[in-house]
Structure 1
Amino acid sequence: MGIATRDSLRDWLQAPGSLSRRLARLGQCFDVQVLRQGVAPFRALERAALGLPPRGLTVVREVILRVDGQPLVWARSAVHQRATTGPWRALKGLGSRPLAHLLYDDDRIRRSELQPRRLSRHGHTRRHAARQWQAATGQAMSPQMLWSRHSVFSRGGALLRVMELFAPELVRQRPGRPKH
């Protein structure tokens, strides 16, 4: 397969609604593998997206989304630590359930536009994701896995940023419409 380009992943990068629900429609078994959930320092892009000060802590959740055992998406969500005692407190007890359970079943939550982004092959986020992918799957992350999207969800004035990095295997799949 050739390099996964923005055009070849366009449907996934622009698909509205729940990514988890769209992925679940691709196979028999949809799985969320939690790689890490805990407190971490702000990253520049997260800080900017969440409108946060230069210093502080976020609560980060990093996962791999799998369909029928095949890893297809690496995702990272980040929220200011204070928000996990307020509007985003349910994030703490989410476990291996999809984040979609919090984001799409509450009419008070609003989502920003989806922002596609090509990661630098040697940038911090890509390297971090590749290390986690290798540890979790036993396989190296495809060098073609460069396209991501991010958006910001708002609830009660508190913001949550979600970033999803797509495996090139999704090029062969259509996102379809999820059941809400």
Structure 2
Amino acid sequence: MGIASRNSLRDWLRAPGSLSRRLARLGERFEVQVLRQGVAPFRALERLALGLPPRGLTVVREVILRVDGEPLVWARSAVHQRATTGPWRALKGLGAKPLAHLLYDDYRIHRSELQPRRLARQGHTRRHAARQWQAAVGTPLPAQMQWSRNSVFSRSGAQLRVMELFAPGLAGQRPGRPRR
């Protein structure tokens, strides 16, 4: 995915507020397909973003967001395991509900600036997303699926990192506008 592809996803990479709510406005049916939720070791970028020590565990939730059955976003959220007994305990019971239900309805939660990022073609995150995408969707992760955005949500001193990787099917679509 080159500059032209990034430009066509620019609105999505920078769109404030809830991605789930914007996606839901594109079609008739919005779904969250939970791929995994559980405890995992820290990843370096997550550890740095969350300001965590070199060792420890996170609670990770990985999902595919679909509109009218079409997979459009692979997302991963990570929070320090201790925070799931405190400010982020509602994450445990979220199930197939969008994370937006927790993040945007609570005035105590603050979001960092969105950070667009191109994933390395052979990087760990992209390889991991590709394995999950193939298993859940039945087709390979599109080669053009390289642009993500990252942000950190803070509540009561505990932080939650969210990374969203965009499918090329969103290119050319305006966030929150119905498809033509």
Same fold (TM over 0.5): yes
Is 1:124 the counterpart of 2:132? The answer is no
Measure, in 2, the Cα distance between the counterparts of 1:7 and 1:170.
12
Helix, strand or coil at the partner of 2:66:
strand
TM-score (norm 1): 0.96
* Count of matched residue pairs: 177
Check conservation: 1:62, 1:74, Cα contact below 8 A: yes
Could you say if the C-alpha distance between residues 171 and 5 of structure 1 is closer, same or farther in structure 2, counting changes exceeding 3 Å?
same
Measure, in 1, the Cα distance between the counterparts of 2:9 and 2:43.
26
Amino acid at match of 1:166: F
Check conservation: 2:24, 2:176, Cα contact below 8 A: no
Listed as ranges, the matches of 1:24-173 within 5 Å are: 24-173=24-173
Helix, strand or coil at the partner of 2:135:
helix
Structure 1 stretches of 5 or more lacking a match? none
Superposition deviation, residue 2 in structure 1: 8.5
Measure, in 1, the Cα distance between the counterparts of 2:35 and 2:133.
9
Measure, in 1, the Cα distance between the counterparts of 2:16 and 2:128.
26
Q: Percent identity?
A: 85
Check conservation: 2:119, 2:148, Cα contact below 8 A: yes
Could you say if the C-alpha distance between residues 2 and 125 of structure 1 is closer, same or farther in structure 2, counting changes exceeding 3 Å?
closer
What do you get for the CA RMSD once the two structures are aligned? 1.4
TM-score (norm 2): 0.96
- Which whole-Å deviations, capped at 9, do the CAs of 1:121-161 have from their partners, x for residues lacking one? 11000000000000001011100000000000000000000
- Which whole-Å deviations, capped at 9, do the CAs of 1:68-91 have from their partners, x for residues lacking one? 000000000000000000000000
Measure, in 1, the Cα distance between the counterparts of 2:41 and 2:60.
9
Runs of 4+ off more than 2 Å: 1-5
Superposition deviation, residue 5 in structure 1: 2.2
Measure, in 2, the Cα distance between the counterparts of 1:35 and 1:152.
21
Check conservation: 1:3, 1:144, Cα contact below 8 A: no
Structure 2 stretches of 5 or more lacking a match? none
